Structure 1
């Protein structure tokens, strides 16, 4: 945990040195650890103490800690030539040994690999995939079937995150779409990286409640789904509409549409950037692994929205294989990789029929104002439908004549 930019800047190499420096600086040990572990630039008073201790100014401290604001960035850009020559003079860092990846199975549309996603992406051609969906580990100290260490320092997690993000940017086609699923906290950092290379489209809030409230915090009730494209215009954006929200008991209106009922699109209500209809996967019938699993409904919506049949979809974090199943059913080519066991993913393909039926049902109940089942219930309970509004209008017109 001492392999950290702040500790390096302060020449701290052991816990004893950390305690001694905290005493010298007159900064509480807990505060010093907070700055280091959370990657936070120190307060003005504490930063001045560190500068005095190191014999440097604030500018140099910012550079040492990688805290680059726009003013500093402008200065660096103005001296790009000198900085480049300084960097060139440094000894090149040794390249890390690339980890091997193995092709474990193929399907009609896809290829499934086992191994490290960055190693696989480094072998992929630039501008080669149409859609990327990424659901990386959240760094929450959770147990994964792969044995992956999901609890590293924030600095290490963010460095790794930037590495795989930049590879994704490279392999994404011009006009292609990229979606990243993560906690809002991490998505703020991910956006900072992606904003430099891709065009921001939406921050989609997917309303899925966590199990328990967190003390002294607002109740966390959504995951962040970032949506970016490469370039100014998407190659694919297939408009998606949802049925009208109605009472699940009586099938009556939840909202009062007044005299605007006849102006509602018969294909449904526009999809917004708040999705509250994505269920967590809890039922044993649909759950294929112990750790978190994404809903087929989520991936069906993303893939249908931002790609077309025959396009190539890439997911660098296979998990339970939901992206690959949805891609296969929707007739997209796909490339997948999982660092852990892949047997459960292969098993899902052997049991694909019920998942095919599930997606078929989802699609039959989208882009309509009311599903057939709901329409029948509304008619039985005396509620309006597009047909009854049309007949009412015809009657009023005939009375005027």
Structure 2
């Protein structure tokens, strides 16, 4: 998505036909590059910057301010003149927020409550410091059609400002030591991470290996989603990641990685989890998919996150209900949960009618965790004379 005409407005280019070409001739910066700077709200650099500010008759500082590009020099000046700037901004009175319908409780279980309504209105109704884990999977602003008919084609700055608004509320409701996990495209998370760092503590950028589009000409093939992990305060209240089985060949059960002389030091409970997750499946098979025409998250992903950052009885919040994966995982793992969905919730309610099938799915994931070699793998390696934890620690 593009930005509004912040660059053009800053340098005085109007919407009048031929105005870009006239400024290009005046400044010596090609019209195509001027359009690029405007479309992406990119601050020119080098010779282009010199030519633009000369042609527009403005200073570099004013150009940055009008484009909303605040660097360290401007940040330092704002801090130095904070008192004066605070008085000036107090006179700024943007349009009042339009009234929104209160969120309504639509579905309830013994552990959770699901509300129907706007996510920001929902978050504002929650008490400070009351949530152990927030997981958020917002719309990606890719012009998709949702049952809620939300606008998924916002100008870039409007989408980012909307995200900042609900992220601020998420931070407010998280307990000290609680966690925020934000699922989005790398493009958006790279912009949002610096904003979140102003009030939460960065822990990890997790890359989840799932191809989410077709190859794009002149770009690397996008094949991962970004999962940001932040906490409130200095250290997490809970950090209990699962350990993973060692990767072996699915046919011959041999090692896929050479551990050399360190086999006897391998933890029988499994391999430490890294910040690159290669084992989260896309939800495409009818057996696992709960809604037609839309992407949904793997139950395995939410099981892993909830296991890592909460303990039984903790409160998990997801302000974007979607297919209800977060709520189902929380319910199955004995966590209390709160949620909101602006669109229809029929799919989520129907999903809870299939809770025993969902339990079988999550149990099938968990049976292979926290063991270097799950039982079936261990059995086949023993038959083939391959090493196991017992044989390297107690050789015959």
How would you bin the TM-score normalised by the shorter chain?
A: over 0.9
Checking the alignment, whether the CA contact within 8 Å between 2:209 and 2:277 is kept in structure 1 is yes
Question: How far does residue 51 in structure 1 lie from its aligned partner after superposition?
Answer: 3.6
Q: Match for 1:198 among 188, 200, 210?
A: 200
User: In 1, Cα distance between the equivalents of 2:119 and 2:216?
Assistant: 32
- Tell which deviates more after alignment, 111-120 or 39-48: 39-48
Measure how far apart 1:361 and its partner are.
Answer: 2.2
- SS for the counterpart of 1:186 is helix
Instruction: Give the aligned length.
Output: 391
CA separation of 1:21/1:258 partners in 2, compared to 1, >3 Å: closer, same or farther? closer
What is the CA distance between 1:48 and its match in structure 2? 4.4
- Counterpart of 1:270? 272
Q: Tell me the residue number matched to 2:216.
A: 214
| Counterpart in the other structure of 2:262 | 260
Instruction: Tell me: CA distance 1:98–1:147, structure 2 relative to 1, closer, same or farther (3 Å).
Output: closer
- Preserved CA contact (<8 Å) 2:290 2:347: yes
- Give the structure 1 partner of residue 375 of structure 2: 372
- 2:115 match: secondary structure: strand
Q: Distance in 2 between matches of 1:352 and 1:122?
A: 30
Q: Is the 8 A contact 1:142 1:150 kept in 2?
A: yes
Q: What is the CA-CA distance between 1:25 and the residue it aligns to?
A: 4.3
Secondary structure of the 1:383 match is coil
CA distance in 1, matches of 2:101, 2:164: 18
User: 1:99 & 1:12 partners in 2: Cα distance?
Assistant: 40
TM-score w.r.t. length of structure 2: 0.93
Question: What is residue 321 of structure 1 aligned with on the other side?
Answer: 324
Which of 234, 246, 249 pairs up with 1:247? 249
The residue aligned with 1:398 is none
56, 59, 65: which is aligned to 2:58? 56
What residue number does 1:65 align with? 67
Match of 2:237 among 235, 241, 252: 235
Paired position in structure 2 for 1:175? 177
Q: What TM-score, normalized to structure 1?
A: 0.92
Q: CA RMSD in A?
A: 2.0
**Cα distance in 1, alignment partners of residues 320 and 377 from structure 2:** 38
1:291 equivalent in structure 2: 294
Question: For residues 74 and 333 of structure 2, what CA distance do their matches in structure 1 show?
Answer: 48
In structure 2, what is the equivalent of residue 6 of structure 1?
7
Q: 1:13 offset after TM fit, Å?
A: 6.4
Match of 2:364 in 1: 361
8 Å contact kept, 1:169–1:197:
yes
Residue pair 1:300, 1:359 contacting (<8 A) in 2 also: yes
* CA drift at 1:44: 4.5
Instruction: Provide Cα deviations, 1:336-379, integer angstroms capped at 9, x if missing partner.
Output: 11121110011111111111111122222111111111111112
